Amino acid sequence: MLLIKNGRVIDPANNIDNALDIFINQGKIIRVGKNIDPKGISRDSGKFRIIDASGKIIAPGFIDMHTHLREPGQEGKETIATGCRAAAVGGFTALACMPNTNPVNDNKIVTSYIINKALKEGCVRVYPIGAITRGLKGENLSDIGELKTAGVVALSDDGEPVMNAEVMRRALEYVKSFNLTIISHCEDKDLSQSGAMHEGFVSTRLGLPGIPAAAEEVMVARDLILAEMTSSHIHIAHVSTAGSVDLIRRAKAKGIRVTCEVTPHHFTLTDEAVTLFDPNTKVNPPLRSQEDRDALREGLRDGTIDAIATDHAPHDSLAKDIEYTLTANGIVGLETAVSLTLNELVHSNILTINQAIARLSANPARILGLKGGALHEGEDADITVLDLQREFMVKPETFKSKSRNTPFGGWKLNGGPIMTIVAGNIVWEAK
Amino acid sequence: MKLKSKDLLGLEELTSEEISLILAIAQSMKEIFSKKKQVPPSLKGKLIINLFYEPSTRTRTSFEIAGKRLGADIINFDFSASSMSKGETFKDTVLNLHAMKPDIIVIRHSVSGAPQFVANNISASVINAGDGAHEHPTQALLDLFTIKETFGRIERLRVAIIGDISHSRVARSNIWGLTKLGALVKIAGPPTLIPAQIEKMGVEVFYDVDAAIKDVDVIICLRIQTERQNQNLLPSLKEYSRFFGINQERLGKAKPRAMVMHPGPINRGVEITSDVADGKKSLTLKQVANGLAVRMALFYLLAGENQKNVAY
C-alpha cells in the first residue's frame, strides 16, 4: 500500500492539474483525491508507506515508445534487464522496443522471448514492436497477424527505411485488420548514402559526408501520401528536420492520420556538436541545423509533434571508440530524456509541464493503443514522480544502461525524475 | 614565440600570426639549408611516428626527410585498414602508440577527424598530414609559402581553387589559410562537387571556371578521383577536362603573371593538361621542395629544443 501525499498531480488525459493525494493498493490506483486521510485506510496487507511529495509533481508513468534493448543478440551492449533498469532510473514505467535485434523480431518466437524475458527480468513494462518486413529487408511482409497475437504493439523496420513504396502501401493496408500502427523510419538511402552527419555548413567545414534534410523529407512526404491513400495511421519516428515538421503539420490539417515523435538529442543539440568529432554525436537521423532544432521545438509546442521518445541506442567501445565515419549510429537516452525535456523545454518555456507530461505519457499510450499514460482509479498504478528544481548531473559512468554513448556527459540539467512506480511497486527512487 | 596548441590539426584553428610565424621559420630553414646543406639538429633524441592509414609517397617522405634533417628518430607505421578489422578500437591503437612515448605523431587518415581523435587521447603533439576531406594543413602551408615566395605577398592576391572542392582537404585548408592572410579566394567546379554553404567560409563560388579564373594571380587545381564518375558527380573525365580542366587557352584568361599550382599527384589530361603542368607557369615542383621547409619548421616549433637560442 502506498499513499502519495501533497504532490501536484498532473494527468493530462483526465485534464487534472491539482494538489491531490493518490492511494495505491495491490498495484492499482484506488483513489485520486483531496486530503486522503491515512487513518481512514484499513491496513489489511501489511506494508504501508506514506510518501510526502510536497513540491513534487506526480505524473502518469512515462512511456518511451522508441527503445533499442539489443536483446536478443547484442547483450554486450544492453539486455532487457539493464535496459529496463535504465528506463526506471530515467522515470519511464514502460518502453516499446524496436525489432532490430538478432534474430530480428519478425516472428512470434522472438516476440514471446522478449515478453517472457521482460516479465522475468525487467522492472518496467516492455512492449515489443514487430518488424514490418521479414529480416527488416523491406521486401516481404512479416506474419503481422501472428506478431499481433504474440503481443507486438506496433510495427517498424526502424534502423532501415522501407524503401519500396509498394511494400509500404501494402503494409499500411494490411495492418488495418489488426489495428496496428506502422512506425516509419524515414530515410531515402540513395540520398543519405554513406553520410555521417547533417549536410550543411558544419559538414562542409569538417569534410564529413553529409546526409541532406531531403533524405528524410522525401520519405515523410511519400509516407504521408500513402497514409492518405490507404486511410491508415502512420507514425513518423525521430523527426529531425524543419521540412518534416512542416509536411506533418499540413498533413494533420488535412486530416491525414499521422502522428510523430522527436528525440531529446534532436530538440537539444545541433550539428555544431559534431565539431570536435565526438563519436557520441553520430546518430541517425543526424543532429540537424539550428533552424531544424528550432522548428522541432515549435512543432512540440503547437502539437504537431505528439511524443518525445528516446531512440535509446546502446553501443559498446568497439562501435564507438573509433574513427568518426566508422562509428555506429546512436545515443543512449533513457537516463537523460526526462531531464533534457524539463531543462530544454519546460524551463525555457517551450512547453508547459502539462504539455511535456502529455508528450511523455498520454500521447505515446494513445499512439500505441496502450493502457496507461493516465491516472485512472481502478487501473494499474504506473507513476512517475518529478522534481522540477533538483539539479541532475549527467554521469555516464553511473548509468544503469550497459552502454555510455551519450554526448551529454558532464551536463548539468535542471529537473528530473525522482521516483518510478510500476504496478504499485517503487522500482526506483533517487537517493 | 610558439604555437598555442600542442597539435597542428588544421588551419581553421590557427591565427594569422601563427601562420606567419610558421612561414617565417620555414623561410629561415630553407635559407640555412640551401647555404650550409644542414641545419642544427634541434630534434636530436626526439621520436616522431609517421602513422599513415592512407597510401602516400610524397607527403610521408617529405615528413621523413624533414625529421631526419633535424636529427629526430622517425618511424613509419603504415596501416592499410582501420584498427577495427583487427578487432581492436582506434583508441586501443592510439594508446599503444602513446606507450612508446613519441614526441610527435604525424597522421594521415581517410576519415575526417581522426587526428583530433588521436590528439584527444595522447600527450604527444599531433600533426595532421591529411584527414578525409577535412584538412591538410601542411599542404596549405607549403602552398602559402610558395605563393609568398613567388609574389612577395599573399594579401590581396586573387586565388582560384578549381575542381572537386567537396572531397578536398587541400581546398579547405587553403581557404582558411588564404583568407586569414588576406587573399581573395574564388572556388569553382561543377555544382555536384561544391559542398553545401561553402560561401560561409568566405569564398566566392563559381560554377563556370572561365568566370572564376578571370584576373586571378594563382590557380590551384585539385585532383579528380576517377570514382567520381561512378557516383554521378561527373558524367565523364573527358567532359570534366573539357569544361573544368585547366589548359593553355583557359589559363590565358587569368592575369598574365598568373601561376598554376597542384598538390599532386596530377592526373595529366584531366584537371590539368600536360603542357600547363610542365610549362613555365607551373609551380608544382617548387611546392614539393618548399614542403620540406614547412614541415621542418613545424617539427621545430612543436618539439624543437632551445628555441630561444636558435637563430632561425
Q: What is the pLDDT of residues A287-300, one digit of tens each?
A: 999 999 999 999 99
Q: What is the pLDDT of residues A270-281, one digit of tens each?
A: 999 999 999 999
- A295 and A362 inside one domain: yes
- A52 and A17 inside one domain: yes
Residue A208 lies in a domain: yes
Report the DSSP beta bridge partners of residue B52: B78, B108
Q: Which chain A residues have a beta carbon less than 8 Å from that of B12?
A: 205
Q: How many residues does chain B have?
A: 312
The phi and psi torsions of A159 (rounded to 5 degrees) equal 105, -35
Residue B306 pLDDT level (bands cut at 50, 70, 90)? low
Residue B307 above 60 pLDDT?
Answer: no
Query: How many structural domains are present in chain A?
Result: 2
Detail the DSSP E strand segments found in A323-399.
Answer: 383-393
Q: What is the pLDDT of residues A411-429, one digit of tens each?
A: 999 999 999 999 999 999 9
* Strand pairing report for A16-25 and A57-60: unpaired
CB neighbour list of residue B139: distance below 8 Å, 6 or more residues apart: B59, B130, B169, B170, B173, B174, B263, B291
Residue A305 lies in a domain: yes
Q: Do B196 and A199 touch (CB under 8 A)?
A: yes
CATH of the domain at A424: 2.30.40.10
Cα–Cα distance for residue pair A126/A80, rounded to 1 Å: 9
- A41 and A85 inside one domain: no
Please give the residue of chain A at the shortest CA–CA distance from B95.
A321
Decide if A345 contacts A298 (C-beta within 8 A): no
Predicted TM-score (pTM) of the model is 0.95
Mean pLDDT calculated for residue range B179-197: 98
Those of residues 191-220 in B touching chain A at CB distance below 8 A are: 195-198, 200-201
| Per-position DSSP letters for A154-198, written without gaps between them | EEE-TTS----HHHHHHHHHHGGGTT-EEEE----HHHHTT--EE
B-interface mutation test, from A201, A208, A322, most B Cβ less than 10 A away: A322
Q: Which chain B residues have a beta carbon less than 8 Å from that of A323?
A: 82, 90, 109, 111, 113-114, 117
Residue A400 lies in a domain: no
Report percent pLDDT > 90 for chain B: 85
- A103 and A178 inside one domain: yes
Q: Which chain B residues have a beta carbon less than 8 Å from that of A322?
A: 82-84, 89-91
> Which residue among B90, B120, B196 sits closest to A204, beta carbon to beta carbon?
B196
Q: Do A323 and B196 touch (CB under 8 A)?
A: no
* Strand pairing report for A181-184 and A234-236: parallel
Residue A172 lies in a domain: yes
CATH 3.40.50.1370 domain locations along chain B: 16-136+288-304, 137-283
Q: Which chain B residues have a beta carbon less than 8 Å from that of A199?
A: 196
Residue of A157, A292, A306, A311 marked active site: A311
Residue A399 lies in a domain: no
> Taking the CB of residue A69, how many other CB atoms lie within 10 A of it?
30
- A35 and A138 inside one domain: no
Residue B167 pLDDT level (bands cut at 50, 70, 90)? very high
Report percent pLDDT > 90 for chain A: 97
pLDDT computed for residue A223 by the predictor: 98
Nearest CA among B138, B44, B118, B40 for reference residue B77: B118
| Per-position DSSP letters for A282-302, written without gaps between them | --SSPP--HHHHHHHHHHHHH
Cα–Cα distance for residue pair B93/A230, rounded to 1 Å: 53
Stated as kind and residue range, the H or E segment containing B213 is helix B209-213
Minimal Cα–Cα distance from A208 to chain B, Å?
6
Q: Do B89 and A276 touch (CB under 8 A)?
A: no
3-state secondary structure (DSSP) of residue B162: strand
| Cα dihedral A207, A213, A215, A216 in deg (nearest 10) | 140
Mean pLDDT of chain A: 97
Residue B33 pLDDT level (bands cut at 50, 70, 90)? confident
The answer, for B225 touching chain A at a CB cutoff of 8 Å, is no
Q: Do B117 and A323 touch (CB under 8 A)?
A: yes
Structure-block grid coordinates of residue B185: 579566394
> Which residue among B112, B198, B201 sits closest to A324, beta carbon to beta carbon?
B112
Stated as kind and residue range, the H or E segment containing A229 is helix A213-230
3-state secondary structure (DSSP) of residue A84: helix
Q: What is the pLDDT of residues A330-359, one digit of tens each?
A: 999 999 999 999 999 999 999 999 999 999
pLDDT computed for residue A268 by the predictor: 98
Query: What is the count of residue pairs from A and B with beta carbons less than 8 Å apart?
Result: 77
A-interface mutation test, from B54, B110, B111, most A Cβ less than 10 A away: B111
Residue B211 pLDDT level (bands cut at 50, 70, 90)? very high
Q: Which chain A residues have a beta carbon less than 8 Å from that of B116?
A: 276-277
Q: Which chain A residues have a beta carbon less than 8 Å from that of B82?
A: 322-323, 326
Residue A45 above 70 pLDDT?
Answer: no
pLDDT computed for residue B304 by the predictor: 81
Structure-block grid coordinates of residue B108: 594521415
Cα–Cα distance for residue pair A28/A2, rounded to 1 Å: 10
Cα–Cα distance for residue pair A99/B43, rounded to 1 Å: 57
Mean pLDDT of chain B: 93
- A20 and A149 inside one domain: no
Residue A406 lies in a domain: no
pLDDT computed for residue A311 by the predictor: 98
- A40 and A151 inside one domain: no
Residue A37 above 90 pLDDT?
Answer: no
> Which residue among B82, B109, B197 sits closest to A200, beta carbon to beta carbon?
B197
- A51 and A119 inside one domain: no
Q: What is the pLDDT of residues A107-162, one digit of tens each?
A: 999 999 999 999 999 999 999 999 999 999 999 999 999 999 999 999 999 999 99
Residue B287 above 50 pLDDT?
Answer: yes
Q: Do B90 and A317 touch (CB under 8 A)?
A: no
CATH of the domain at A260: 3.20.20.140
- A166 and A241 inside one domain: yes
Options 3.40.50.300, 3.30.300.30, 3.40.50.1370, 3.60.20.10; CATH for B137-283 is 3.40.50.1370
Which CATH number describes the domain made up of B16-136+288-304? 3.40.50.1370
Minimal Cα–Cα distance from B73 to chain A, Å?
27
Decide if A84 contacts A393 (C-beta within 8 A): no
Look up A311 and say whether it is catalytic.
Answer: yes
pLDDT computed for residue B309 by the predictor: 45
Residue A369 above 60 pLDDT?
Answer: yes
Q: Do A204 and B90 touch (CB under 8 A)?
A: no
Q: Which chain B residues have a beta carbon less than 8 Å from that of A208?
A: 112-113, 132-134
Residue B311 above 70 pLDDT?
Answer: no
CB neighbour list of residue B99: distance below 8 Å, 6 or more residues apart: none
Q: Do B111 and A207 touch (CB under 8 A)?
A: no
Q: Do B84 and A324 touch (CB under 8 A)?
A: no
pLDDT computed for residue A353 by the predictor: 98
Q: What is the pLDDT of residues A208-231, one digit of tens each?
A: 999 999 999 999 999 999 999 999
- A23 and A143 inside one domain: no
Q: Do A322 and B135 touch (CB under 8 A)?
A: no
pLDDT computed for residue B81 by the predictor: 60
Mean pLDDT calculated for residue range B11-31: 97
Structure-block grid coordinates of residue A287: 543532429
Residue B136 above 70 pLDDT?
Answer: yes
pLDDT computed for residue B226 by the predictor: 82
Cα–Cα distance for residue pair B307/B312, rounded to 1 Å: 9
A261: domain range? 61-368
pLDDT computed for residue A154 by the predictor: 98
Q: Do A324 and B117 touch (CB under 8 A)?
A: yes
Helix A213-230 × helix A165-174 angle, to 10°: 40
pLDDT computed for residue A386 by the predictor: 98
Residue A108 lies in a domain: yes
